[in-house]
Structure 1
Amino acid sequence: MQEITARHFADRLERGARQASAAGFDGLVVAPGPDLAYFADYLPVATTERITLLVIPAEGEPTMLVPALEHGGAAETRAAGAVRLIDWSDGEDEYAPAAALLRPGGRYAISDATWAMHLLGLQQKLPGVHFEAISHAFPMLRAIKSADEVDRLAAAGAAADATFEDVLRLPFAGRSERELAAELDRLLREHGHQQVDFTIVASGPNGADPHHEPGERVITDGDMVVLDFGGLLDGYGSDTTRAVHVGEPTDEEHEVFDTVRRAQQAGFEAVAVGVPCQEVDRAARAVIRDAGYGEFFIHRVGHGIGVTTHEPPYMVEGEERPIEAGMCFSIEPGIYLPGRFGVRIEDIVVAAEDGAHRLNNSSRELHLVG
């Protein structure tokens, strides 16, 4: 896997500037969060109230403003050669140097993660500047992945696959959901994840809640168990879901599982360059609807993934944007029977000129665990 260098970040900065110019913006204003990690390889202390801001002008040099006490860390990033660095000190008006980076009366797209106090401070300094959320102005800003980014997502997916294979060897019955979630966290880290974002373990009736928080419920014989887990490995995300069963499943559980498996495959087969994103949702949803479970599929079929585990594009009804080569996203249909059980199967895929390629390759069969 190729090392990400200053050149990669320079290319991203140039692409951001071109997109801003083409859309009639004077530039991008990027605050700490996934956008800043993507463009500048930098994530300052999350709890700090001190302003950090990267400005990518449509024309001119990208410049990042940082607190003086954090200058050293910002200067050591892989993007340091591609971004001019300036700082401000405690006791100074931090909005003065920030405002100086913007054109009075200009139009800028600003990171969704920007603190309200900083946006309001900029607006007070430059009341004529128009700000628009990056997610609205440029929803596809990070959507098309380079070959190196796909490689990193594939590595994260392989680590999640290995985690699933390992967890299948563990005992389920008699353990709490919280205990098993801790095992998933441990295994993801053993397989290289530096950050674990979620480890959903939803057993029995809890499986009918797609975002169930693992609790003290003890897993018992006869439970269907939904496992949804992921995080970041070398800065790129994993997100996979599998359902397993403790002991022998009923005929209905087999039927529901098989319906979800077929729906996931239908969604995968619907992926093609030029096809609207919503067609992936429609293909998977049709399988579930035709099997009589349509009312129990209660979420979109997929979301993009990259430096965050949820980002555009979204595979959902109404999203008519066409799929492009390099887009990476989940396909994760599910059926959720309230008070009884749920099933979800999720893979990350990448769109290519010859169709879709899975970045998760662990078994999608119904595994029986003890």
Structure 2
Amino acid sequence: MSSVFAERMARLRAAMKQTGTGLVAIGPGSHMQWLAGFYPHPDERPCLLLVGPEKAGFLMPALNAEAARLHSDLPMFEWADATGPDAALSAAIDAIFPQRTGRIVIDETMRADFAFLLADALPVLPRAFTQDTLGLLRSIKDEDEYRRLKACALLNDAAMKAARAALKPGMTENAVAEVVRGHFSQNGGQPLFWIVGASENGAHPHHATGDRVLKTGDAVVLDIGGRLDGYPSDMTRMAIIGEEPEGYREVHAIVERAVQAALAAAKPGAKASDVDRAARDVIADAGYGDYFVHRTGHGLGIDAHEPPYITATSDVVLEEGMVFSIEPGIYLPGRFGIRLEDIVILRADGPEIFSELPRDAYVA
């Protein structure tokens, strides 16, 4: 196990001790990727990384075991299709969790049948999800994660510049999206998503980019993201085709003030709901509260959406090193939508923005 993953395992065990956790069970996915550096092909065959106070190992389908050993020196408790996983799981629990005391933390993203298999094997112990153990550790990024996120954000900036430079009347939303996808693919990244919403389509926060033709006077939402070196990016900017629609400048200014208010509220020790409230109050006070229809932000790490979530109801206390979006918006049905989104990492004195692109509307 490399020093990075050994250090993460040690941090997890410290969190387990602090929370009275006897066993952490992780399925194939981003939790396993973060802790072990890989995950096997995810299918219906039960596969778990089990972490106890002193030992850890994999419940592993036999057909994946040899490949998994190329990535990890942890013990493999193998099972074959002909025999099923029950005996291997029992052996893994005996070796890794012999005391059978304390609560079990279950990866909330694993398949339900994997979770039920584990629950049936340990039926009387209390259970929890990862929010105060592995999930909390993942939400606080280390320097290597910061470096990867920053690099992907800069690639995202370049993809946004390419898309904006290509904008012209007569293009379709899909044609703009193709510029975004092409830029990521041609520069070592993978495109993840591309929302291009012209005027009335931009009033739908999760508009499905289509064949709407851009025309003079359109306000265009550009929400794009990609992946580079295992980590994603996410950013939203606005563009105007020729001339801004009526009322656009006022609404853009309100959303910008909401971004600035949220940035000012984002401090270590603040609650996620404080940041949401700061943005939401600006928009509500301007008379557009009913048109801000989503949360203010979400975390970003291995996953494009992960904790912490910046919502009105979240009592999560923000900590230095957390990475999340600030993305208030106003959506006026039949007219246009405006969303301005930046990803930030929380420092001791407040948020550092990853993107280096201004939030001003680009005029094509």
TM above 0.5:
yes
Post-superposition offset of 1:115: 1.4
SS of the equivalent of 1:226 reads strand
Equivalence for 1:73: 67
Post-superposition offset of 1:114: 1.6
- Structure 1 CA distance, aligned partners of 2:56 and 2:133? 19
Deviates more, 1:121-130 or 1:259-268: 121-130
Equivalence for 1:62: 56
Aligned positions of 1:268-347 closer than 5 A: 268-347=263-342
Deviates more, 1:289-298 or 1:131-140: 131-140
Alignment equivalent of 1:154, drawn from 150, 154, 159 = 150
Equivalence for 2:207: 212
- Structure 1 CA distance, aligned partners of 2:33 and 2:201? 35
Post-superposition offset of 1:129: 4.1
- Structure 2 CA distance, aligned partners of 1:9 and 1:56? 13
- Aligned amino acid, residue 97 of structure 1: A
Q: Contact 2:59–2:92 (CA<8 Å) still a contact in 1?
A: no
Q: Structure 1 pair 273/172, CA: closer, same or farther in 2 (3 Å)? A: same
Residues 1:93 and 2:84 are matched in the alignment: yes
- Structure 1 CA distance, aligned partners of 2:201 and 2:320? 37
SS of the equivalent of 2:278 reads helix
Post-superposition offset of 1:163: 0.8
Q: Contact 1:162–1:191 (CA<8 Å) still a contact in 2?
A: no
Deviates more, 1:59-68 or 1:345-354: 59-68
TM-score normalised by structure 1 residue count: 0.91
Equivalence for 1:237: 232
- Structure 2 CA distance, aligned partners of 1:136 and 1:205? 42
- Aligned amino acid, residue 223 of structure 1: D
Q: Structure 1 pair 250/202, CA: closer, same or farther in 2 (3 Å)? A: closer
- Structure 1 CA distance, aligned partners of 2:67 and 2:270? 43
- Gaps (5+ residues) in structure 1? none
Equivalence for 1:36: 32
Alignment equivalent of 2:347, drawn from 347, 352, 355 = 352
- Aligned amino acid, residue 153 of structure 1: L
SS of the equivalent of 1:127 reads coil
Q: Structure 1 pair 274/106, CA: closer, same or farther in 2 (3 Å)? A: closer
Deviates more, 1:358-367 or 1:110-119: 110-119
Equivalence for 1:262: 257
Equivalence for 2:186: 190
- Structure 2 CA distance, aligned partners of 1:301 and 1:183? 28
Equivalence for 1:367: 362
Post-superposition offset of 1:297: 0.8
Alignment equivalent of 1:23, drawn from 19, 25, 33 = 19
Post-superposition offset of 1:137: 6.8
Post-superposition offset of 1:65: 2.3
Q: Contact 1:27–1:109 (CA<8 Å) still a contact in 2?
A: yes
Post-superposition offset of 1:109: 0.9
Equivalence for 2:5: 9
Q: Contact 1:159–1:192 (CA<8 Å) still a contact in 2?
A: no
Alignment equivalent of 1:145, drawn from 116, 141, 144 = 141
Alignment equivalent of 2:41, drawn from 41, 45, 51 = 45
RMSD: 2.0
SS of the equivalent of 1:100 reads helix
Identity of aligned residues (%): 37
Q: Contact 1:106–1:128 (CA<8 Å) still a contact in 2?
A: no
Q: Contact 1:260–1:333 (CA<8 Å) still a contact in 2?
A: yes
Deviates more, 1:246-255 or 1:342-351: 246-255
- Structure 1 CA distance, aligned partners of 2:123 and 2:266? 45
Equivalence for 2:163: 167
